[in-house]
Structure 1
Amino acid sequence: MYSSRYHVRHETTYEYLHPVSESHHLLRLTPRDLPWQQCLDHRLLIDPQPDLQRTFVDSFGNHITAIQFLTDHNRLEVSSECWVDLAPRPTVEPGPAGQSWEQVRDQLRYQAGHPMAGDTLQAAAFRFSSPLIPTGQQYGSFTPDRRLTEACQDLMLRIYQEFTFDNEATDVSTPVASVLKQKRGVCQDFAHLMIACLRSLGLAARYVSGYLLTNPPAGEARLVGADATHAWVSVFVPGAGWLEFDPTNGVTPDHAHIILGWGRDFSDTTPMRGVLLGGGEHKLDIAVTVVPEAEFELIYDQGDTLLTKPEGLAANPAVQTPSAVNR
């Protein structure tokens, strides 16, 4: 039973100083379908029109649109829109929730003569360092015999309380060690740091990319393009699956976090990345807007969007959303 419905617009514009003669791009802009999330519709508008375009699913199950341009262009615009229904995430049963972090760690280790369950075997791939996330003793330290769910909640809140959001302190290449030292960064940095801590203890954690509904300041209207993509963490618990934690906002994701995809780190989930010939310097503009169904017609005039409002209502569409920071 779905409780919240959202319209998401994600606009990306590249302006190049010199003509680009050829370029190849991978777009990760289609939300995943999950037991608690349904992508009702998704539309892409690309200008100029790609010479080649195809879709596929990567090794993590994320939907990819590959586009290729073979003629000169000085500008590239990609507009993505979707309607998504969200339900509350599944609750964790008392049994799996009561496991200590050491019990979970040991289940993720290979032991001769003891085959892993399929989901545990797949999760074990997220125990190791990855291109943007190192592991080491400086990152991992949990109290012995503590329940994994409690330890993760505490780690999430420590990052939320002790680190400062600062979108000028880091960039996409800033190492996790620098984030830990300066205690400043953005959602990508805080997700990478939390994952480094968990993997350093032998636990399975993955990077989740998506969108977060935010509320404008009291008395102010919701603005088109005022949001951004968001990142958070999921941790594997045998018998319960993947549990999500948002260290940027200090919350466990529920009916306001929309998942685009997941991977080992940001490099596996970049919304748009590519290679090109020519272009020289470029200017990049990104605008994201997440709108509850009830506000859609207050934000957009007829004809302003690629997708119209879907017929029918999400169950209980008036659910209140928590105040959050989209970082």
Structure 2
Amino acid sequence: MLYDLSLHMGYAYDAPASGARHVIRVMPLSLPDRQRLVAGSLSISPAVDERTAFLDFFGQQATSILVRAPHDRLDIRMQARVMVESQPMTADLSPELAKLPEELAAVWSVDAASPHHLAAPSPRLPREPEIAAYARELAGPGQTVREIAMALSARIHRDFTYDPEATTVDTTPGEAFRLKRGVCQDFAHVMIVALRSLGIPAGYVSGFLRTIPPPGKERLEGADAMHAWVRVWCGGTMGYVELDPTNDMPAGSDHIVVGYGRDYSDIAPVIGILKGYGNQKTIQAVDVVPVS
């Protein structure tokens, strides 16, 4: 599928801010046999005093900006054309859970794709005993890693309610788990904590979800903003599988990857600091349109 993407992220400040330095991660990746960034542009208003593009540890395209002058709003706009290949589910070649530690120990690499980065607690995802107990209920003897991951995705989708008003970007996975409500970030964080508690490496995927449904199908939740789902390491033979617990489906040609990380903190769309006071209002608008 060929898509045209547009993103607008706007911040309006009660009082002018100055000395603002931000890192922006919103441009889709080019991934072998998965997706290709045909063209992309990133514009920022007001005019920035410094702008530097770089690749972070996980290979995500990032842009660092500095705005020295006082400004009462910041607008970030991204446009891109992306070709996404279909990702059919293959035969389950993942090991049984009991055999996964042996396969993980055989991985000596610690590069960006290494599952070792996704096996332990991370800055936003500490150990959560309640979530671990929830995960153990699904991990029966003889089950493969992919079977467990897919069962967990289905259970989170069934047990949790999609509710944009229930949580904030700073809600912890433990809080979201007790609420049984939240958005895609919460669903993904809970699932990652659950999988890691079983010894299954899992990480966070940030991206976009198609906003126009196929004929006769309902619109997918989470399509009006950046989306998040889960990357699960299913052993040395099978590698990574991506699952979307918000919609209980494997990530496919409707899912466009922006970046990979341990949790949201690694690939937040915008992070930074500024000098100012008062509150701010944030808007986010996303459009993902298939190109005929």
For normalisation by structure 1, the TM-score amounts to 0.80
Residue 261 (str. 1) matches residue 259 (str. 2): yes
- Quote the residue 1:104 is aligned against: 100
Larger Rg belongs to = 1
Shift of 1:289: 0.7
- Quote the residue 2:116 is aligned against: 124
Task: Give the aligned residue type for 2:120.
Answer: F
Q: Percent identity?
A: 37
Residue 22 (str. 1) matches residue 19 (str. 2): yes
Residue 74 (str. 1) matches residue 72 (str. 2): yes
> 1:82 is paired with a residue of what secondary structure?
strand
Task: Give the aligned residue type for 2:66.
Answer: Q
State whether residues 6 and 83 of structure 1, in contact with CA within 8 Å, keep that contact through their aligned partners in structure 2: yes
Task: Give the aligned residue type for 1:143.
Answer: G
Deviations 1:181-217 (A, max 9, x none): 2211110000000000110111110000000003369
State whether residues 50 and 68 of structure 1, in contact with CA within 8 Å, keep that contact through their aligned partners in structure 2: yes
Q: State how far apart, in whole Å, the 1-side matches of 2:213 and 2:119 are.
A: 38
Shift of 1:106: 3.2
Q: State how far apart, in whole Å, the 1-side matches of 2:128 and 2:46 are.
A: 46
Q: State how far apart, in whole Å, the 2-side matches of 1:198 and 1:235 are.
A: 8
State whether residues 132 and 265 of structure 1, in contact with CA within 8 Å, keep that contact through their aligned partners in structure 2: yes
State whether residues 88 and 252 of structure 2, in contact with CA within 8 Å, keep that contact through their aligned partners in structure 1: no
Residue 144 (str. 1) matches residue 141 (str. 2): yes
Residue 245 (str. 1) matches residue 243 (str. 2): yes
Q: State how far apart, in whole Å, the 1-side matches of 2:74 and 2:53 are.
A: 19
- Quote the residue 1:53 is aligned against: 51
Aligned with residue 134 of structure 1, among 126, 145, 148: 126
Q: State how far apart, in whole Å, the 1-side matches of 2:124 and 2:167 are.
A: 14
Q: State how far apart, in whole Å, the 2-side matches of 1:205 and 1:250 are.
A: 16
State whether residues 93 and 240 of structure 1, in contact with CA within 8 Å, keep that contact through their aligned partners in structure 2: no
> 2:154 is paired with a residue of what secondary structure?
helix
Q: State how far apart, in whole Å, the 2-side matches of 1:213 and 1:119 are.
A: 33
| More moved, 12-21 vs 244-253 | 12-21
- Quote the residue 2:231 is aligned against: 234
Aligned with residue 156 of structure 2, among 136, 155, 159: 159
> 1:239 is paired with a residue of what secondary structure?
helix
Q: State how far apart, in whole Å, the 2-side matches of 1:122 and 1:216 are.
A: 34
Root-mean-square deviation (Å): 2.1
Q: State how far apart, in whole Å, the 2-side matches of 1:79 and 1:163 are.
A: 32
- Quote the residue 1:272 is aligned against: 270
Q: State how far apart, in whole Å, the 2-side matches of 1:70 and 1:47 are.
A: 13
Residue 203 (str. 1) matches residue 194 (str. 2): no
Q: State how far apart, in whole Å, the 1-side matches of 2:51 and 2:288 are.
A: 26
> 2:16 is paired with a residue of what secondary structure?
strand
Deviations 1:12-61 (A, max 9, x none): 11111212121000000111111210000110111111100001111111
Q: Aligned pair count?
A: 279
- Quote the residue 1:213 is aligned against: 210
Structure 1: gaps of 5 or more residues = 110-114, 295-327
State whether residues 211 and 287 of structure 2, in contact with CA within 8 Å, keep that contact through their aligned partners in structure 1: no
Structure 2: gaps of 5 or more residues = none
Task: Give the aligned residue type for 2:109.
Answer: G
State whether residues 210 and 289 of structure 2, in contact with CA within 8 Å, keep that contact through their aligned partners in structure 1: yes
State whether residues 108 and 203 of structure 1, in contact with CA within 8 Å, keep that contact through their aligned partners in structure 2: no
Task: Give the aligned residue type for 1:149.
Answer: R
State whether residues 92 and 240 of structure 1, in contact with CA within 8 Å, keep that contact through their aligned partners in structure 2: no
Q: State how far apart, in whole Å, the 2-side matches of 1:86 and 1:216 are.
A: 16
Change (3 A) 1:117 1:30: same
For normalisation by structure 2, the TM-score amounts to 0.89
Shift of 1:240: 1.9
